[in-house]
Amino acid sequence: MSETFTAREHDVLLVVDIQNDFCPGGGLAVPRGDEVVPVINALAAKFAHVVLTQDWHPRGHQSFASSHAGKKPYDTIEVAYGPQILWPDHCVQGTPGAAFRDDLHVARAEMVLRKGYHREIDSYSAFYENDRKTPTGLAGYLRERGLTRVFLAGLAFDFCVRYSAEDAHREGFEAIVIEDACRSIDVGGSVAATRDVFRSLGIRCVPASAIAA
Ligand code: VGL
Ligand code: ZN
């Protein structure tokens, strides 16, 4: 028998980066990224607490290949905090690509956490920027509100969901990834690496059907 979960008062659904640029037709389209929207809408109705994240880069962000002469998307460069994959331009502040998908039910969200707004630091995780030191404030928000168990869904499984789940775990929250409510980019073995990390940390991946009404 597979385990089922009933969302409780101290649980939060963290919905990662459901933005136009991560869906088909967008600047950094995640294959079939749009398919998670109805799954997430149905999940959100089951949670008392929903938090959304929004990738929110200034124009000319360091993570954009277009900011580096001679570089192309998916090249890797060394920056102050280590290796950084370069991406196509995406989620530029205030542009339609950075907006939430129209079909995402955003009204129930208690808070929207923007990340990646420092020009020189990328931020995959909803908790820490990619230097792994600069906090976004989310851990404090969740703690102050007594939220202890974080269910994660969204885009992309192998980047922003992965790092958010790792950091949630590191910050002492229980992290559970709802896998069919995620889609992956899959560059350089990133999906396999994500599964390895989740396994070693004991972060569970469950299907949306495991979340009871
Ligand atoms: C993401 C790459 C760059 C994500 C954001 O949401 O997974 N990936 N920026
Ligand atoms: Zn980004």
Which residues sit with Cβ closer than 5 angstroms to ligand 2, an ion?
Answer: 55
Taking only the tens place, the pLDDT of each residue in 61-104 is: 999 999 999 999 999 999 999 999 999 999 999 999 999 999 99
**Residue 160 C-alpha to ligand 1 middle, in angstroms?**
5
Question: Does residue 39 have a pLDDT over 80?
Answer: yes
Which of 11, 34, 91, 115 is catalytic? The answer is 115
- Ligand 1 in reach of 155 Cβ (< 6 A): yes
Give the pLDDT confidence score for residue 213 in this predicted structure.
78
Pairing type for strands 5-6 and 111-115 reads unpaired
Question: Does residue 190 have a pLDDT over 90?
Answer: yes
- Ligand 1 in reach of 17 Cβ (< 6 A): yes
- CB neighbour class for 137 (10 Å; exposed up to 12, middle 13-18, buried from 19): exposed
**Residue 14 C-alpha to ligand 2 middle, in angstroms?**
17
Taking only the tens place, the pLDDT of each residue in 78-88 is: 999 999 999 99
**Residue 159 C-alpha to ligand 1 middle, in angstroms?**
6
Read off the pLDDT of each residue in 106-132 and give the average, rounded to a whole number. 96
Give the pLDDT confidence score for residue 121 in this predicted structure.
96
Read off the pLDDT of each residue in 114-128 and give the average, rounded to a whole number. 97
Give the pLDDT confidence score for residue 3 in this predicted structure.
86
Read off the pLDDT of each residue in 100-109 and give the average, rounded to a whole number. 96
Q: How confident is the model at residue 2 (pLDDT cuts 50, 70, 90)?
A: confident
Q: Is 23 assigned a catalytic role?
A: no
Taking only the tens place, the pLDDT of each residue in 155-174 is: 999 999 999 999 999 999 99
Q: Is 182 assigned a catalytic role?
A: no
**Residue 42 C-alpha to ligand 1 middle, in angstroms?**
23
Read off the pLDDT of each residue in 17-46 and give the average, rounded to a whole number. 98
- Ligand 1 in reach of 55 Cβ (< 6 A): yes
Question: Does residue 1 have a pLDDT over 70?
Answer: no
Q: Is 205 assigned a catalytic role?
A: no
* Cβ-based neighbours of 72, under 8 Å, separated by 6 or more: 65, 86
Q: How many CB atoms lie within 10 A of CB 60?
A: 11
Question: Does residue 112 have a pLDDT over 60?
Answer: yes
| Tokens matching residue 109 | 């969200």
- Do residues 160 and 154 touch, judged by C-beta distance below 8 A? yes
Mean of the per-residue pLDDT values of the chain:
97
Read off the pLDDT of each residue in 188-211 and give the average, rounded to a whole number. 98
CA 180/CA 155 separation, integer angstroms = 11
